[in-house]
């Protein structure tokens, strides 16, 4: 099977790249992936499939659910001729062009250019009730900037789990809306930079709970409280909160790219050649969205990168005399 442009991934970056590429007559095909549990839930459409309400994406003044938004993105891409395959790409050979990509049903595709937009997965605590309430909009989230301003969290006590810079940023952001922000950390010191720690330790709305882990998440339709355990004493306690924000990092979905020659950073994010383009170290391979962005991790920034990747790919293919 020979393709001009293959887009791997179906979040905001992938679908935006597909819209631009299809309108440029590149006849793109999107490999949107298959649902999986590894160990958190991953669905075609990316992390927004676990987001019940999106209020910060322009053009939706009344908000929109994450799954509905991704379906609209997909419908728009298909309208312009994008083809969609519900398969994973499980292996890539970038050693020569056309590139050879292997799907989860062991079909081999030849592609002149590839846009990788597989995103990153939030690291969760692994509690069954945690994932249930995250999926249903019950007060559990992995993104405070995405969800922290929602009405259910305003003037309510919430908790953040984590001790790095991301956790400090999430907690600091939440102090603008919540009545109290509990920062739960399993150690007796933060890993975050001194400046980031100071913002939390000196904030009167933030309260740190040291040496503690979350053992269970309580609530049927909405989060009611957390069961905590002190790792030094073993003592358990109940903490009433209306929100739980898990800030223990993200894992880029790049496991299938290791050993391909594509340059990844120490965490696994794809390295770009410069901050303004989507070129990777392999000519003809482009990256967009959270798979190459560990900083912003927003739907709109991912969509913007998808636009750039499609334009970069179109221009690069033109330079190669491929249309």
Return the residue matching tokens 């383009």.
277
Residues with catalytic function: 143, 146-147
Which helix or strand (DSSP H or E) is residue 129 part of?
helix 128-135
How big is the chain by its Cα radius of gyration, in Å? 21
Report the C-alpha gap between 9 and 26 in whole angstroms. Answer: 17
Q: Where are the beta strands (DSSP E) in the chain?
A: 2-8, 29-31, 36-37, 41-42, 83-85, 89-93, 99-103, 108-116, 120-122, 140-141, 157-161, 180-184, 206-209, 212-218, 225-230, 236-240, 243-246, 250-252, 285-287
> Per 3-state DSSP, what percentage of the chain is helix, strand, and coil (rounded to 5)?
30, 25, 45
> Across the strands, what pairs with 116?
8, 287
d(CA 241, CA 267) in angstroms, rounded, equals 32
Report how far residue 243's alpha carbon sits from residue 225's, in angstroms, rounded to the nearest whole number. 9
The Cα–Cα gap between 45 and 30 comes to: 11
Q: In whole angstroms, how far apart are CA 68 and each of 63, 139, 233, 254? A: 11, 19, 46, 26
Alpha helices (H) along 177-254? 194-201
Torsion of CA 315, 316, 320, 321, to 10 degrees: -20
């Amino acid at each position: 099977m020979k393709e001009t442009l293959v887009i791997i991934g179906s979040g905001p970056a992938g679908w935006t790249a597909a819209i631009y590429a299809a309108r440029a007559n590149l006849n793109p095909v999107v490999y949107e992936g298959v649902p999986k549990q590894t160990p958190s839930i991953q669905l075609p459409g990316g992390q927004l499939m676990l987001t019940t309400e999106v209020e910060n994406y322009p053009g939706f003044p009344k908000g929109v659910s994450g799954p509905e938004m991704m379906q609209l993105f997909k419908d728009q891409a298909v309208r312009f001729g994008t083809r969609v395959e519900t398969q994973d790409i499980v292996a890539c050979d970038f050693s020569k062009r056309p590139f050879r990509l292997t799907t989860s049903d062991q079909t081999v595709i030849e592609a002149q250019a590839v846009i990788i937009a597989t995103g990153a997965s939030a690291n969760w605590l692994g509690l069954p009730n945690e994932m249930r309430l995250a999926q249903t909009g019950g007060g559990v989230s992995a993104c405070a900037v995405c969800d922290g301003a929602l009405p259910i969290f305003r003037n309510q006590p919430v908790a953040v789990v984590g001790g790095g810079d991301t956790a400090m940023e999430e907690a600091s952001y939440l102090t603008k809306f919540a009545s109290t922000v509990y920062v739960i950390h399993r150690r007796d010191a933060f890993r975050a930079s001194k400046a980031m720690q100071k913002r939390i330790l000196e904030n009167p709305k933030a309260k740190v709970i040291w040496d503690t882990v979350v053992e269970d998440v309580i609530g049927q339709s909405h989060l009611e409280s957390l069961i905590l355990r002190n790792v030094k004493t073993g003592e358990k306690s109940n903490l009433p909160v209306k929100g739980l924000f898990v800030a223990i990092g993200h894992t880029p979905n790049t496991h299938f790219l290791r050993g391909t020659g594509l340059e990844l950073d120490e965490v696994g994010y794809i390295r770009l050649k410069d901050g303004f383009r989507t070129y990777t170290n392999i000519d003809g391979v482009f990256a967009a969205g959270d798979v190459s962005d560990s900083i912003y991790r927003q739907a709109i920034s991912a969509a913007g990168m998808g636009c750039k990747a499609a334009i970069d790919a179109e221009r690069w293919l033109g330079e190669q005399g491929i249309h």
